[in-house]
Structure formats: C-alpha cells, structure tokens
Amino acid sequence: MKKYYVVWKGRQSGIFESWPQAEAQVKGYPNAQYKEFTSLAEAQQALQGRYQDYAASPTSPKQPQLRTAPPPLLPSLCVDAACSGNPGLLEYRCVELRADGEAWNCAARGAILGREIFRRGPFVQGTNNIGEFLAIVEALMYCQESGCDWPIYSDSVNALAWVRAKKARTNLRPTEANAPLFARVARAEAWLRQHTYPNPICKWQTEHWGENPADFGRK
C-alpha cells in the first residue's frame, strides 16, 4: 500500500512519499512532528491542520518509529579532530557547549557554542584517531587545571576506548617527521596512568544530535 508521510515540524515540512525522505527531515530534529497516512488526500488535509489534531489518532502498526536519545549534558566540552590523509596533516580542538534557554537543539540549531578552549596542530603524518585521543586527554588536563568537572564528548569510538585503556593503540609508525606528535601521545598516556578525573567521557550521538560541535567542517 502506498504511504505518505506528513512532516509538520522538521528540517523541512511537507508531504514525503517514502520513509527515508521523511526520516531525513525528522531524525535527530528536536520535538519533530510527523505522521504516516495511507492516502494523498488525507495527507494533504492533515498538512493544512495541526499535528496535535492527528497525533493521538490510530496509526499503522508498521509505521517506522524513531529511537530517541536524551539530550547531551550541558554545559560540557566537545572535542574533535581533522586529518587530511591517512596519515596526513592533523589538527584537533576542544570547544565549550552551553545551554541556550530551556530547550536543547544542537549547536547549529539553538545551543550556544562557546569559546574554543584549545586548537592544536597542524602535525604532519598523523591520524584522526590519534588526534581524537589527544583531544580528549588534553581536555581532561585542562579541566584538572581549571577545576572543571564538565562532561567531555567525542564521536570517536576508538579514542574513547584508548582513553579507557590509557593507551593509544595506533598502528602508525613513529618517524622523525611525526616525533612531536608521538611525544604528545607519550605525555597523554603518562597523564592517564598518573591521574584520576571526575569528568564523564561520553560518546557524542551524531545520529540524534547532529554533527559534533567541535567538528572542523571538512567532510
């Protein structure tokens, strides 16, 4: 049976003839309003009305359901890295993320992206995983020095695992050119072995919250 998806509130409102098209408008969008209909006429009529008038009405049991995630903890720190090549020219940074009023929307849609705490690089012959690892650890160093216990978010599963292991499990080989980068890695590993910290280290949920606010925008 042909289905139509009405989006009242999303990245783009309107009627969409496939779930992937509608999902692109509502997935990760705060408080999205959408519903499935089985006829175009019904969908057109619904779009002219209010979502609240249709939200409580019965829907098809096969209507796709989005998994939602609670918003990120605020205030917090976000870290990310960018590497041109693998290995290649590496940079990484840390930024503040603060609340904007009562509602959470994601950095590009309402939250306040605060000051850049630090930016490192460029380093030659680096990898993205190393940059993500160093960004987390140096954010922890910053928090200890400033007495800050904010959560730290990264979208790198590998870097989060390396921090838990207190070891950068990289396959990158040291060279004379990337010696300064490996010196930072050694310092970060030593710091993790010698210190504890109260900061939660969390995975940034890109699929629900949008792009990491510390992203360099080079994808």
Residue range 76-126, pLDDT digits in tens: 999 999 999 889 999 999 999 887 644 444 444 445 567 899 999 999 999
Answer yes or no: pTM beyond 0.85: no
Please tell me the distance from the alpha carbon of residue 39 to that of residue 41, in angstroms, as a whole number: 5
pLDDT for residue 16 is more than 60: yes
How high is the mean pLDDT of the chain? 85
Please tell me the distance from the alpha carbon of residue 122 to that of residue 88, in angstroms, as a whole number: 10
- 48 exposed, middle or buried (CB, 10 Å; 0-12, 13-18, 19+)? exposed
Neighbour tally for 162: CB within 10 Å: 25
